[in-house]
A and B are shown apart, each in its own frame.
Chain A
Amino acid sequence: MSKQKKFICGDDAVAEGVRLARPHVISAYPITPQTITVERLAEYVEEGSLKAEYLHVESEHSALSCAIGVSSVGARAFTATSSQGLLYMAEALPYASGARLPIVMMNANRSIATPWNIYGDQMDAMFLLNSGWIQYYVEDAQEAMDMMIQAYRLAETKEVMTPVMVNIDGFVLTHTYELVEIPEQSLVDEFLPPISMPENSMSLESPKSLCISAGNDTNMEFNMKQHFDMLNSEYFIEAIDKEFGDKFGRYYNGMLEGINMDDAEIALITTGTVTGTTRVVLKKLRKEGKKVGLIKLRVLRPFPVEKLAEVLKGVKAVGVIDKNISFGYEGTVFTNVNSALSTMENMPKTMNFIGGIGGRDITKEDIEIAYEKLFEFLQGEKIERVQYMNVRCDY
């Protein structure tokens, strides 16, 4: 049997993945560069290839609030947004995660106003790192599609019961066309069984009060349970990815992928599409005999503390590429990485490369420079720990 392949963009790939996951209800509000996804889903519902309710909501706050309602009765919900839209629904994010509702959302990573800009950086999702949602970052259209399926499986795992945000870099991925393999529905149905969450959904058989209030005598315990279930979801992220690999032949290495890390002296850490560019540079530098490596962080919440420390054993200097700035500090991934690496006996030296803000290209040359700077840093040259890639003003 020949495998079905389609030449589609990242947004299309997300829609394909969502269709295969068979959500009961879709509620979303348009925003560039997410729009293609919600347009496709509307078409699928219209033509009947996806049997779902499609709710035309009047805002992102309502998009997620609808999804909360849907999920609260034990139905499968999907929403998608980006940038201003993600921030507009921000209030409802911890609401969903606290209520342990397994909603899946696609976030097309886009810059945040002001200045206004529709292009890709990862400032939007970083804002919501603390929202209690599991956060995936994907590299290409195939992974985007595959992760929609994995995301539902993970979110709905009884021990996890946590909403999942799949982050897709704006334009570079959402609008870029690639050949994507579409799995068979029957295989997806085997991998992703119908949703079942009798313990935390409202039902006629077992009426419940949800999204309750808890005073200072119990509130912390609710939060602890949520926190530890999220920490423990790392196990399921790994297991589900392996099972996916066995079934569909594509394995993404769970929490993170290490490339050429066995003998690497220095390494770059990336999230999302910049990984692809870095792979190309890595190949070239390796050919030149340089002991360089790359780590693709696939999940930022939960954060892969142990796995990251493990893969960086023996590495002398690490650079983190951040497509975001935490104003007044540094890149957010960098902060997270440093904390994780401080658990190591011999912590590598660390550098931050902030770039790609407002959709500025991070080129192969930029990445090569980053590797070079890491070598200089390692050799003890006096060099700023936080570097800004390709900036055109004095600062």
Chain B
Amino acid sequence: MLKLNAHTITNKEYFYGHKACGGCGESLALRHAMKILGENSFAALPAGCMAAVSFIYPNMAFTTNAMITPFAATASVASGIAAGLKALGIENTQTIGIAGDGGTADIGFQALSGAIDRNADIIFITTDNEAYMNTGIQKSGLTPYGTKTTTSPAGENLPGSITQKKNMFEIVAAHGITYAATASVGYIEDFLKKVQKAKDTKGTSYIQVFVPCPTGWGYPANETVSLAKAVVDSGLWYLAEYENGEFMLNKNPKEFTSAKDYLKKQSRFKHLNDADIEYIEEQRDKKWEIMRRKWNY
């Protein structure tokens, strides 16, 4: 297969003219995903930043078919689209759901689980910016420990969010899904490859892509890609796949780069002290120990 990178993917744009902030990681992920998915795509997006910035009448950012869904209903609307197309005998199409972390791991979770159970012929892409951004940076189920959000303030008594990031990737895999992967816009070629794999998959596939958000995280807009790399290199996020019932690590760093460096670049983590960071590193190491042991690395 042709290696997918900036040179080999199409120059065509299927997603542009939206009103996302400069440096928005989500819109970057969408733009690239759409280049792989192509013009026969039917996209379903729930409430969230991407829906909010792309369908403002009369300016529509998708050149393909696309629609906003109720917040909880990404996977169900998408599977309805796929079923409708199938029943009408319309072939060579690609139905995708594109939801934020909240739209996936919280309110959209049930519908996603149902769609995977039905093995709906859809790709579900989670653009994970680790909070409810569209409503002004509130904590979601994918907000990691120690994050300051507007509903998990950091103060004398609390270090921001006190729960661990929900393990969506393995939860999805536990359904016995055909294909699932994690990705990051910091490793865009890896992401493109995974979108292509999902496109080639019959039945449900899931990709959770890490997408920094300058506005919600508090960092300069030109740092989006470097932060999306740093999170993987520091082991605070990981690139993995689940296929044919097996887990795979696409990157298994011998040594992690500094978690502190990654965290301290963002105002959402500015308040963390050394003990907090040590705890975060401990949790990271524990997660990697389990992943490596369970997945035979």
Chain A interface (Cβ within 8 Å of chain B)?
A: 24-25, 27, 52-53, 55-59, 61-63, 65-75, 77, 91-92, 95, 99, 202-204, 207-215, 218
| A69-B72 contact given A209-B55, A209-B60, A209-B62, CB 8 Å threshold | no
> Which one of B40, B57, B63 contacts A213 once the chains associate, using CB atoms below 8 Å?
B57
Would B83 and A55 count as touching, CB distance under 8 A?
Answer: yes
Would A24 and B67 count as touching, CB distance under 8 A?
Answer: no
B38-91 with Cβ < 8 A to chain A: 39-40, 42, 44, 51-52, 54-58, 60, 62-70, 72-73, 75-88, 90
17 additional contacts, CB 8 Å, given A53-B83, A73-B42? A24-B83, A24-B88, A53-B87, A55-B80, A62-B75, A65-B80, A66-B83, A68-B69, A73-B88, A74-B84, A75-B87, A202-B67, A204-B93, A209-B62, A212-B60, A215-B57, A218-B58
Would B70 and A61 count as touching, CB distance under 8 A?
Answer: yes
CB-CB under 8 A from A218, the residues of chain B are 57-58
> Which one of B57, B76, B86 contacts A212 once the chains associate, using CB atoms below 8 Å?
B57
Q: Smallest Cβ distance from A258 to chain B, in angstroms?
A: 40
Binds A, one of B26-34, B110-118, B259-267: B110-118
Q: Smallest Cβ distance from A224 to chain B, in angstroms?
A: 15
Q: How many A-B residue pairs have CB under 8 A?
A: 155
| A91-B70 contact given A24-B87, A58-B111, CB 8 Å threshold | yes
Docked CA distance A26–B122 (Å): 18
Name A94's closest neighbour in chain B (CB-CB).
B70
Would A75 and B84 count as touching, CB distance under 8 A?
Answer: yes
Docked CA distance A92–B71 (Å): 10
Chain B interface (Cβ within 8 Å of chain A)?
A: 39-40, 42, 44, 51-52, 54-58, 60, 62-70, 72-73, 75-88, 90, 93, 110-111, 113-114, 117-118
Would A55 and B79 count as touching, CB distance under 8 A?
Answer: yes
| A209-B70 contact given A55-B80, A57-B114, A77-B84, CB 8 Å threshold | no
Would B73 and A25 count as touching, CB distance under 8 A?
Answer: no
The 9 closest A-B pairs by CB, nearest first: A69-B80, A58-B114, A65-B73, A24-B87, A66-B80, A62-B76, A75-B84, A202-B65, A65-B76
CB-CB under 8 A from A25, the residues of chain B are 80, 83-84, 87
Instruction: List, sorted by A's number, 24 A–B pairs whose CB atoms are closer than 8 Å.
Output: A24-B84, A24-B87, A24-B88, A53-B87, A57-B114, A58-B110, A58-B113, A59-B114, A62-B73, A66-B83, A69-B77, A69-B79, A69-B81, A69-B83, A69-B84, A72-B80, A72-B81, A77-B84, A209-B54, A210-B65, A210-B68, A211-B67, A213-B57, A213-B68
Docked CA distance A52–B40 (Å): 23
Q: Smallest Cβ distance from A19 to chain B, in angstroms?
A: 15
CB-CB under 8 A from A62, the residues of chain B are 73, 75-76, 110-111, 114
Q: Smallest Cβ distance from A74 to chain B, in angstroms?
A: 7
Docked CA distance A95–B51 (Å): 15
CB-CB under 8 A from A91, the residues of chain B are 70, 72
